[in-house]
Amino acid sequence: MITAEDLKKIAALSMLSLDDAELYALNNDLNDIVAFADIISEFQVEEPDPILPFPLDTLREDNVYPSAPCAEILKNAARSEDGFFVAEVRGNE
């Protein structure tokens, strides 16, 4: 349980200026939160059953295939430089 003195110390460390009504309301809220956390911590949690009936690590084999020559691919580019496509920049006219 959080006491009013604890809350005043926390407020001072946090540089919060709270009047007595705010301290009282905040104290009640924090104590409700701590009580709820205590209730939740009492629940027994078991390991869930696996949802998926098949393994997730089945991957196809990585096969390398020959590619088209770079020069042939770059023939289709409007502009190329050092073996790369040069993108057209729009809006900088």
Domain ranges of the chain: 4-41
What pLDDT is attached to residue 48? 74
At 1, the amino acid letter reads M
Position 91 scores a pLDDT of 82
Q: Of 78, 57, 2, nearest to 34 (Cα)?
A: 2
* Predicted local distance difference test score (pLDDT) of residue 33: 95
Quick one: the chain helix, strand, coil %, rounded to 5?
40, 5, 55
What is the reported pLDDT for 60? 85
Tell me the pairing of strands 80-81 and 84-85: antiparallel
Mean pLDDT of the chain: 87
Query: 4-41: which CATH architecture?
Result: Orthogonal Bundle (1.10)
Residues of the chain predicted below pLDDT 50 = none
pLDDT at 85: 92
pLDDT of res. 76: 87
